[in-house]
Structure 1
Amino acid sequence: MAPGPRALFDLDKLLTDDERTVRDAVRRFATDKVLPRVPDWFERGILPRELATECGAMGLFGMHLQGYGCAGMTAVEYGLACMELEAVDSGLRSLVSVQGSLAMTAIHRFGTEEQKNRWLPKMAAGEVVGCFGLTEPDHGSDPAGMRTRATASDGGWVLNGTKMWITNGGIADVAVVWARTDEGVRGFLVPRDTPGFTVRDVTRKLSLRASVTSELVFEDCRVPAASLLPGATGLRGPLSCLNEARYGILWGVLGAARACFDAAREYALTREQFGRPIAGFQLTQRKLVDMQLELTKGLLLALHLGRLKDSGEITPQQVSMGKLNNVREALAIAREARTILGANGVTLDYPVIRHMNNLESVLTYEGTNEIQTLIVGQELTGLPAYS
């Protein structure tokens, strides 16, 4: 193998032929079909709806689920796919993980056969986009305080409340909505055209601009009894879906980190100051070495957790540890890469500032850095410290 970062850590030797095939196929799709368009989407703050159809044709939606048109791939294969998607943009990986790990997983895990057959094949194909309504304007890290309520009425349910920071909301055809009921928190499938359900997109974002983020508003929104997801009562249901999403994130952010490292390394080898490439200066080499060390350790952690997940042994606390470490280190790598590029690092001519801004959101969504810390802290001490 030629000298370079991949020679220091040859991940391929730890992967199966099938895993490498999945990774390479997703990399080609993301790099060839999506990457050329992303800087424009980011600058304009849009995500075209037709991208969902393209992702569906690639089998990316719900790829870790079995049946109903889903690919049924392993946790490691799904993780590798997330890494290649986020190497292009966090918005692309968010589209896929919210659709698959949140909305589709909720239906697959807690829905009736009728609900699964109605929604999952079309969602797997990208013909239907879903979103996941849990977070509220005043209740993010503490979902137990949610105010959205579903009241039984005339053989159905009436929803009232607001959800905030909902990825895919503005392009979603169906929302998985979590609400308080007399018997605890329950999940509901709410089609976009349901009277009393309105969506307002969040604008003026400086992060995840190539992604749709929305507010969901329910005002006397009536849904039939068949909209209820019968398999989930209480917060354990939505939190288990968040754990699935966190697993994809702990892989995905390594793609963003790798893209930043590669951009910084290439720039350092070609940018000359004081008569030679800046890659030949000790301080620049120290930055590149530190970035590669953390990227390598993050990959080993992600692969280990993927193997545990495929064997059915992974715990939510281990997933939290993975998200905590890998998001934190990916953001540090992006920031360090920006310093190597200097002023060029703040333009969209290079991917670094885009990834850096995106990772600021990834640091706090699907469970903030602080919440992941407290989850791991409770595992270490046996003592909850959330309040």
Structure 2
Amino acid sequence: MRILHTSDWHIGRTFHGHSTIGNLRTVLAALAAEVRERSVDVVVVAGDIFDSATPSAEAYTVLEAAVVALREAGASVVLTSGNHDSATRLGFMSRFSGLAGVHVVTRQEQHSVPITISDEFGPVHFYGIPYLEPALLRHHYPDVPLKNHEQVLGFVMDRIRADLADRGGRSVVLSHCFAVGVEPSDVERDITSGGIDYVPLSVFDGPDYVALGHIHGRSMLSERVRYSGAPLHYSFSEASKPRGGWLVDLNADGLSTVEWVDLPVPRALSVIAGSLDEILADAAHATIEDHWLSVILTDQVRPLDGMRKLQARFGHCVTLEHRPAVTADATETTYAERVRARTDAEIVSGFLEFVRNGIGPNELETDILSSVLTEVALGEADEPTAQPEKTRVSPTAARRTVDSLAEVDA
């Protein structure tokens, strides 16, 4: 039997405010093409089918189109719910869809009742473990300690092994969890409760293959226990990680071979660093102008309108971080100490140095500053209560000064 292991479709997820629906349709169509070309018998999807517990109508149409295409390509489909899914919504009419070869496992009591699909060597039992929150499961088994995911999955796997011992035959388990030995990225929702809910690899002893979900990058924990990762990149931390699924072959004795199947990346991700002028002028960046782009600007002072200028060349630049290559030494003096015995011009200049990473006013800004402060001083000198020797910049004057300097920068 040939099985394609995938997970974490996250239908409906956005990428820095941009919809991923179109790109996901492309990838899932390619997945169906691989199923047809490679004569896959069963596609397993290990949780997080949707990105939200309340999917949009469009998200449902994407799921429907995907499973119809997989069935038309010749494969049965087994899906389980993940921590992002609503078990009730995803599982709606699951008994009916099972009659059409699309098996959706979302109820906790289904974990030890396999979906059995046979080939020329006999039955293969697919045990789908939906995401099981310990707090929601323990009241079903009050005599069993079920305080964390290790205990929950240990208990569930014991029941699966007992059922399999009675049935005989080969087996595949689907589970959505954090397993010990895997490195998460910055996009998976934390379900570890501070690290106590990592699941040891030994919990999954027994089955011929364990298809894991939740981690968005592919990972092999053992020859028979693997994460497939998500079909799309949902974070720049995953930019270098391939997208695809595991092609698993079972022979008469169990696991035979496992190989990786690449899926297309509709829009690649890139991270670049440099000063704004360097990035905008560098001809070498022509190859990434259509990528999702994350930019780290190294200018000493954060450029005004940096994102707008970047997007004029890189239409899909979505994140911008200012990480100056040169950082001014931090001062430990108090504000009162910094302004003591200083003129108004020195105070404003010092403020600009403080907020602009050590860069004070340039020549044009100095002229504007001098002009504004002189105007303020002359205006206050005409007032009866004026005290020129103690004059400090009023809020109105300070605002005018900052506005004038901003116009210069622009």
Above 0.5 in TM-score? no
Higher helix share: 1
The one of the two structures with greater contact order (alpha-carbon pairs below 8 A, sep at least 6) is 1
Higher strand share: 2
Q: Which has the larger radius of gyration?
A: 2
Question: Which TM-score tier does this pair reach, normalised by the shorter chain?
Answer: under 0.3
